[in-house]
Every structure is written in C-alpha cells, then in structure tokens.
C-alpha cells in the first residue's frame, strides 16, 4: 500500500492536546512499545522504571528469569509504587497505604488485611496491571493490547534487519554506561520522522560536522538505500562506493570481527556500511556508525550503536532516553571508547543533537495556530526520481534504491493516519 504524496499528518496533531490523547490511546495504546534492553535487568529482582506513552511502568526480572512490564500505579489509590529509576528488590511497597506488590506485579500484602477487610476481599484481582511483553534481539517491547498480533508478526520484515543490527556478534550486545534521559521541545513525531530515514538534512543541518571532518568517509562517495515495511518501521543505510575498501564491518576489534555469527546476507548488510539508522514504530530509534575520531583523546574509527526511546510529554515536548550498546565480548577499552564516541557524536549534549534539537524547536515554533498553521508538510522528495545502485545485500521489505528520499516518511505517515483514523 502506498501513500498519496499529498498526504500529511495535520499540523494540528503537532500542537493539540486532543490529538495527543488519541495518540496515547491508539499509537501507544495499541502498538508494541519499546521499553528497554534485557541487559538492564540481568539478575532476579533487577528493575528499571520507564513509560509507555502517558503510563509509568516498571520493567523487572523475576526468579524464573521472566521479564515483566507493569503499571507503576498502586491498585488502591494509584500511587507510584516505585520511585527510583533502577535497582534490585523483591517487592514494591506503596508509600501511601503500604500495599506490597511482588516483582511480578502480584499483590503480596495489605496492612490490616484480616482485621480491616471482609471475607470477599480478593488480593488476586488487585495486582498491578500487566502489559504483554515480547523480546527480540535483546530488545524489550510491551503492549496493553491483548488481541494485538505477537511481536514478531508486528515487526514483520523489520525483524530481518534487527537481527543484522543486534545479533551480528555471537556474544550479543549489552547496555554500557546506563540510560540517559532528557526532555526536549518539539512534538515527538518530529524526532521519530527524522530517524525514519532523513538523510536530506545532513549536509545542511550538520554542516559543521562535515567541515570538521568528523563524518570522514560518510562525506565521500557512498551508495545509500532506504527500507520500509507496512507496519511503519524503516531504516536508511549508506555504504562506501569505493570497491577497493575491504569488505569488513567498520570500527570493531579484530577479535570481535572473528566472532561474527551471521549468514552471508546479514554480513553483507553490515560490511562497508558507514551508517545505518532507523526506527521501529512508534518509539524505538536506532543508529550504528563508526566515526574516525572525536577529540584529541579519541582517534581512530570506533563503531557505536545507540538506541533511543521516544515518549510524548505534551504536544510541544517529548522525552528521549539514550542507550549505548556494545558487544559483550569486546575489550573493556573498546567498550569505553565506543561509549565515548556515542555520547560525543549522538548523546544528549552532542554537536549532532544540538543541531537536531534546535531544528525540532524551530519546527514547533513555526507550527502556528488553527488560523495560520494550515499548510501541510511536504513529503514528495524522491517521487518519480530514478533509483540508483543495487544494495550489496538481499533482504526483505520495500527497498528503495535512493539515499535521499522521503519514501520512509511517507510510509510512516500512512501508518500514523491509519491508526489515528485520519483521512490523508
């Protein structure tokens, strides 16, 4: 299914509270929402607190190794039962009336249970509300929709690309340096759309980074492609066009490269790639790249992989949580350098992020009101433009042989309008 090139998310949906409430109910309420990485809760009792749209949640691991995601809200009066960002515990105790819940969300204790409540009181029906949980390549997703397709079905063809990104090395990936969170100005959809496949802004918005040479080979001869799937997911990938460059995954230690556990097509998906970025609809963003240097203390190509969770706060602000993923089997020194490159290039206070967040702020400032802000955004980039080289890999999904195109944004608009029940 294609999208009418004139279709656009109404500008009112970037500034109106009513639109956001509907997004919470449909986009965030009916989709598989990214929560975090399973390596954040490696041991029984480990937990982190996150959000699913407007809902605060706890992600925890129980003694049986299962990961649970549950509403961080007491079933008695709604008080948050967990106030910390992360930790380890066997129970969560409400600070208001003292109700106690297990790491699986079940209600374990009620002060005065025998003397203050009658025989019909049933603790079994008063556990914390639990979301359905799915994990894929170490990524943890959850949904409130009990009748939604399972996670793998929802990912569709994007699952193939996630395996190439997060299962390349036999030892897998893990979070390094914890999670960083920042609140920024701009509607959440602006940020998601940027990562969906916007290469068009790079040499304009990030001109300083190209001028400084930080982009290295990404500023030279590259072939770029975008991929999208019907459920709204997409990615963009660039590859060195110089055939004299060795067919290797850039920026990793030799020992790691020897541990690659991937079939030929997944290997080719990653070899000679200068950057791969994209999104799993609606709120997971990812990027992997290998800068040449980032400061006098950071010289030499080092790859990093970054995840982002996007959470709306209000129509004009959203929260971004950042993680750096590293191969478990990498050396401690390499892990530290990868984290350094990740935070300096794409961290919350980095040059790249300063450029993007300022543009998100300016988009928000330019939306206008119901009178002035009526012009739709334009998504025609790449339509009727000849496609170019063939990707070095053969993968599923709708592959568009163009680097600078809004094919992925059109795909995102289609999925969003479909969920919101809006005519494009």
Q: What is the CATH number of the domain that holds 176?
A: 3.90.380.10
Residue ranges with strand state E in 116-221: 132-136, 139-143, 173-185
Element (H, E) at 163: helix 158-166
Specify if 19 maps to a domain.
no
Structure tokens at 5: 């090139």
Provide the number of structural domains found in the chain: 2
Nearest CA among 174, 171, 165, 156 for reference residue 266: 165
pLDDT tens for the chain, 424 residues long, are 445 666 899 999 999 999 999 999 999 999 999 999 999 999 999 999 999 999 999 999 999 999 999 999 999 999 999 999 999 999 999 999 999 999 999 999 999 999 999 999 999 999 999 999 999 999 999 999 999 999 999 999 999 999 999 999 999 999 999 999 999 999 999 999 999 999 889 888 788 777 776 666 555 678 999 999 999 999 999 999 876 677 889 999 999 999 898 999 999 999 999 999 999 999 999 999 998 767 777 777 899 999 999 999 999 999 999 999 999 999 999 999 999 999 999 998 888 899 999 999 999 999 988 887 888 899 999 999 998 889 999 999 999 999 999 999 999 999 999 999 987 5
Task: Please tell me the predicted confidence (pLDDT) of residue 216.
Answer: 60
Specify if 8 maps to a domain.
no
Q: How many other CB atoms sit within 10 Å of the CB of residue 97?
A: 13
Task: Please tell me the predicted confidence (pLDDT) of residue 211.
Answer: 76
- 290 plus 167 within the same structural domain: yes
- Of 143, 177, 192, which residue sits at a domain end? 143
306: containing domain:
157-420
C-alpha span between 377 and 7 (Å, rounded): 9
Exposed / middle / buried, residue 216 (Cβ in 10 Å: 0-12, 13-18, 19+): middle
Specify if 23 maps to a domain.
no
- 103 plus 191 within the same structural domain: no
- 55 plus 188 within the same structural domain: no
- Of 143, 171, 195, which residue sits at a domain end? 143
- At residue 224's C-alpha, the angle toward residues 377 and 217, to 5°, is 115
- 287 plus 365 within the same structural domain: yes
Task: Please tell me the predicted confidence (pLDDT) of residue 171.
Answer: 94
3-state secondary structure of 186: coil
Task: Please tell me the predicted confidence (pLDDT) of residue 2.
Answer: 47
- 347 plus 204 within the same structural domain: yes
pTM: 0.95
- 84 plus 168 within the same structural domain: no
- At residue 320's C-alpha, the angle toward residues 315 and 321, to 5°, is 150
- 307 plus 346 within the same structural domain: yes
CATH number, position 135: 2.102.10.10
Specify if 410 maps to a domain.
yes
- Of 108, 143, 178, which residue sits at a domain end? 143
Task: Please tell me the predicted confidence (pLDDT) of residue 209.
Answer: 73
- 95 plus 174 within the same structural domain: no
Q: What secondary structure, in 3-state letters, does 291-342 show?
A: CCECCCCCECCCCEEEEEEEEEEECCEEEEEEEEEEECCCCHHHHHHHHHHH
Specify if 69 maps to a domain.
yes
Specify if 9 maps to a domain.
no
Q: Is the dihedral of CA 412, 238, 332, 299 positive or negative?
A: negative
- 271 plus 388 within the same structural domain: yes
- 166 plus 121 within the same structural domain: no
Structure tokens at 210: 């190209």
Specify if 393 maps to a domain.
yes
C-alpha span between 412 and 405 (Å, rounded): 13
- 44 plus 167 within the same structural domain: no
Specify if 26 maps to a domain.
no
């Amino acid at each position: 299914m294609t999208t009418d090139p004139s279709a656009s998310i109404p500008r009112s949906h970037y500034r109106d509270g009513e639109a956001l409430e509907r997004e919470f109910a449909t986009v965030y309420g009916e989709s598989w929402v990214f929560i975090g990485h399973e390596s954040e809760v490696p041991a029984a009792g480990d937990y982190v607190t996150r959000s699913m749209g407007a809902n605060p949640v706890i992600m925890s691991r129980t003694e049986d190794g299962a990961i649970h995601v549950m509403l961080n809200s007491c079933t008695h009066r709604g008080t948050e039962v967990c106030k910390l960002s992360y930790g380890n515990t066997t129970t969560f105790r409400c600070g208001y009336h003292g109700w106690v819940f297990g790491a699986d969300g079940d209600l374990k204790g009620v002060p005065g249970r025998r003397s203050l409540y009658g025989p019909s009181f049933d603790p079994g029906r008063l556990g914390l509300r639990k979301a359905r949980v799915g994990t894929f390549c170490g990524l943890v997703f959850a949904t409130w929709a009990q009748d939604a397709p399972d996670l793998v079905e929802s990912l569709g063809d994007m699952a193939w690309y996630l395996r190439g990104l997060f299962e390349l090395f036999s030892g897998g990936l893990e979070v390094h340096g914890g999670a960083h969170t920042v609140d920024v100005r701009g509607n959440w959809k602006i940020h998601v759309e940027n990562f969906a496949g916007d290469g068009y802004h790079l040499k304009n918005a990030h001109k300083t980074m190209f001028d400084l040479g930080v982009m290295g080979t990404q500023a030279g001869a590259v072939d770029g492609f975008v991929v999208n799937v019907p459920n709204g997911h997409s990615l963009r990938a660039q590859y060195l066009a110089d055939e004299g460059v060795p067919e290797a995954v850039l920026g990793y230690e030799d020992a790691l490269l020897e541990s690659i556990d991937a079939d030929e097509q997944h290997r080719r998906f990653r070899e000679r790639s200068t950057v791969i970025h994209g999104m799993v609809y609606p709120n997971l963003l990812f990027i992997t790249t290998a800068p040449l240097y980032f400061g006098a203390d950071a010289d030499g190509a080092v790859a990093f992989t970054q995840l982002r969770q996007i959470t709306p706060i209000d129509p004009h602000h959203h929260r971004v949580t950042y993680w750096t993923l590293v191969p478990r089997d990498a050396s401690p020194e390499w892990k530290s350098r990868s984290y350094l490159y990740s935070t300096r290039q794409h961290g919350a206070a980095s040059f790249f992020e300063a450029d993007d967040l300022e543009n998100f702020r300016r988009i928000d400032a330019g939306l206008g009101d119901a009178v002035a802000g009526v012009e739709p955004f334009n998504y025609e980039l790449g339509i009727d433009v000849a496609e170019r080289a063939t990707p070095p890999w053969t993968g599923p999904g709708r592959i568009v042989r163009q680097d600078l195109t809004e094919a992925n944004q059109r795909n995102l608009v289609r999925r969003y309008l479909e969920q919101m029940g809006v005519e494009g």
